[in-house]
Structure 1
Amino acid sequence: MEVFEVLFFYLSLFLYLFANIYGFFVYFFKKEFYFKIIYKITLLAFIFHFLTIIFRSLISKHIPVIGNYENILMGSFFLIIIILLFFKKEKLILPFLFSLSLNIILFGMAIFADAEKKPLFAALKSFWLYIHIIFAWLSYGAFTVAAGVSIAYLIKKEKPLDEIIFKLSAFGLVMDALMIIAGSIWAKDLWGSYWSWDPVETWSLISFLLYGLILHLKITLKIGGKTFAYLIIFSLITVLISFWGVNFFMGKSLHIFNVG
């Protein structure tokens, strides 16, 4: 990483962490609470996060899409966008904080990832690549925030949280479907087949079907909020496998662009 990229990365990580720790402290210890301050600190961290991406893009001469470091950088970016858009109201502070915690874990993992700059291979210079991964980041971001809200729901059982979990999961499911469709079209151009039962493809399909089943049960059988929350948290495992799954199938996956 270059100097400014490193500087902005650690500034954003520090501010995310500070907002999270301060938020939990004032919430659980019933101190005077200023949600707007925490929100603005998170927004400032997001700006530094964005600058990290800008510098990375300028140096590598492409949008960060190669390797775990760049995928974490972008995945976390979209996750924060969803958090900032969904949780503007003070009454949603707990789901905001738990979702931010999950983002910090994800973003912090970039420290341990290989940050070496790599060229964009000819096979990846496709319009469909960006369509595919934008839907992927939105989908995984929504599912991750839904898990964060689910944790908050298990602590503070409120119906509005249950509704937010459903909306986030439904949005994530739609984005997941579009990700798979865009990926299939791209795969046809790249590998000559819409579907190859590649490990990453398979786990993405498992994730899609699992979330689809859970939402179906929520609508038809009216499964309780607590059960629903646990299922959403559990389902995040399939998302994590899809996101980093290629690392467990080195040499077997066609998704070589995610190696790093």
Structure 2
Amino acid sequence: MNIFTLQIVLETFSFLILLITTIVFFLQFNFKNNWLKTFSFSGMIVSNISIFTLLLTRWITAGYFPISNLYESLFFLIWGLNTVWLLLYQSKIKIQLLDISLSLLMTFLVGFLHFILPAEMRIASPLVPALKSNWLMMHVSVMMVSYSILMIGSLISIIYLYFLYKIDKLLLTLNGSTLSTLNGNLNSSLYNFQYNSISNLGNYHNLLKDLNLIKLSKRLDNISYRLITFGFPLLTIGIIAGAVWANEAWGSYWSWDPKETWALITWLCFAVYLHTRIIKGWQGKRTAIVASLGFIIIWICYLGVNLLGKGIHSYGWFF
């Protein structure tokens, strides 16, 4: 079996495992079952190992760290997302909608690489002179890890906003006295919400049961905050490493290439998030909106600019 055939096998296997795992997560969302929970966790581990094996095999055969093009860096990003999820899960942080959305996202990305990306972009090729640098591993790997952490932190903020919207709608169906009773506790109760189906909330007592207003705290928002706080310094280090590498390769630390510009926009977005949290004391909805915007900006920076834009970072697929 040659390397390209093995690559195809690992791609296909990873896609099927992630697809099955996503289906199991959907079933687990509606039916509480320990067997489903075990199977979904095992699926994430197996897919993680499969993608890691693909990257390791490519590293050994190509002779360089596999993050030099779209195919390699996107698989590295998928592996990073998977690994961060496993670390959160092992830390007893379990959010069902995060499980579903993240596994669905990874399934889509692997499917994109396997079924849509042109074959010539999936073949390992010798590095151009500018990429033959130790800064390649330093810059790109740190950027991908920071993206993984920031994406999951932003996804948690999106989930928070979604349930805040759903619960606000539910509160409109309650009488004024109930609204005044719950209003003070609402924002602080959504964060650790065990996301059972909202459609099953039939009355006030069920609402109290599902939200667990007395016991629940700002955990979800705090998880997002901790992840973004950890991912932001890595993003900063990655951008600085890229600037040093650019100076080494092209004689300039910053050239306002579209990729560099959007990397700065990404950095500014999460800097605003942390500034408003730490300095202004914002919490909840307002900071969650900023973090959710960051999720979109990351994808524009990483994928959109590379495929649609022009510049030294463009993969040149469409142009």
Cα displacement string for residues 194-225 of structure 1 (whole angstroms, at most 9, x for unaligned residues): 11111111110110011110121122333342
TM-score with structure 1 length normalisation?
0.90
CA distance in 2, matches of 1:200, 1:71: 15
Greater Cα offset, 217-226 or 229-238: 217-226
Query: 1:66 Cα deviation (Å)?
Result: 2.8
TM-score, normalised via structure 2 length: 0.74
SS in structure 1 at match of 2:31: coil
Cα deviation for residue 90 of structure 1 reads: 6.5
Residue of structure 1 in register with 2:176 after alignment: none
Query: Is 1:143 aligned to 2:150, yes or no?
Result: yes
CA distance, structure 2, for counterparts of residue 12 and residue 155 of structure 1? 31
Distance verdict in 2 for CA 1:193–1:63, change over 3 Å: same
Q: Distance in 2 between matches of 1:93 and 1:162?
A: 15
What is the DSSP-based 3-state SS (H/G/I as helix, E as strand, rest coil) of the residue aligned with 1:87?
Answer: helix
1:133 corresponds to? 140
Q: Which moved more, 1:145-154 or 1:120-129?
A: 145-154
Within 5 A, what are the aligned runs for 1:115-194?
115-153=122-160, 154-155=162-163, 157-158=190-191, 159-194=218-253
What is residue 102 of structure 2 aligned with on the other side? 99
Secondary structure class of the residue paired with 1:120: coil
Q: Check conservation: 1:133, 1:179, Cα contact below 8 A.
A: yes
In the TM superposition, residue 174 of structure 1 has moved relative to its aligned partner by 0.7
Distance 2:108 2:299 in 1: 12
Separation (CA, whole Å) in 1 of partners of 2:93 and 2:146: 25
For the pair 1:11 / 2:13, whether they are aligned, the reply is: yes
> Retained in 2: the 8 A contact 1:207–1:238?
yes
> For the structure 1 residues 255 and 196, does the alpha-carbon distance in structure 2 shift closer, same or farther, using more than 3 Å as the test?
same
Count of aligned pairs between the two proteins? 256
Q: Which amino acid aligns with 2:224?
A: I
- Does the 8 Å CA contact 2:68/2:131 hold for their aligned counterparts? no
Paired with 2:101 and 2:289, the residues of 1 have a C-alpha distance of 15
Q: Alpha-carbon deviation of 1:259?
A: 4.6
CA distance in 1, matches of 2:45, 2:94: 18
2:182 aligns with none
Of all paired residues, the percent bearing the same amino acid is 28
1:20 aligns with 2:22: yes
- Matching residue of 1:47: 49
Q: 1:143–1:102: structure 2 CA closer, same or farther, 3 Å change rule? A: farther
- The reply to whether residue 227 of structure 1 matches residue 286 of structure 2 is yes
1:201 matched to 2:260? yes
Q: Deviations over 1:87-118 (max 9, x none)?
A: 22274343233233333333332122231332
Deviation at 1:236, TM superposition (A): 1.6
Aligned to 1:75: 77
Rounded Cα–Cα distance in structure 1 between residues aligned with 2:247 and 2:144: 21
1:108 aligns with 2:167: no
Shift of 1:37: 2.8
Question: 2:31 — aligned with what?
Answer: 30
| 1:140/1:165 CA distance change after superposition, 3 Å | same
The superposition leaves residues 129-176 of structure 1 with CA deviations (integer Å, 9 ceiling, x where unpaired) of 110011110111112111222233233822211111111111221111
Contact residue 95 and residue 151 of structure 1 kept, 8 A: no
Unaligned stretches of 5+ in structure 1? none
CA RMSD of aligned residues (A): 2.0
Alignment-derived partner of residue 312 in structure 2: 254
Counterpart-to-counterpart distance in 2, 1:91 and 1:189: 44
Contact 2:67–2:141 (Cα < 8 Å) also in 1: no
Residues 269 and 290, structure 2, Cα contact 8 Å, conserved in 1: no
Residues 73-98 of structure 1, C-alpha deviation per residue, up to 9 Å, x if partnerless? Answer: 11111121111112222743432332
Quickly say closer, same or farther: Cα 1:235–1:53, change in 2 above 3 A.
same
Amino acid at match of 2:125: K
Distance between the aligned counterparts of 1:149 and 1:162, measured in 2? 8
SS at match of 1:2: helix
**Aligned counterparts of 1:69 and 1:97: Cα–Cα separation in 2:** 24
1:18 CA drift (Å): 1.3
Residue aligning to 1:238: 297
Answer whether contact 1:66 1:259 (CA < 8 A) is retained: no
CA drift at 1:255: 2.1
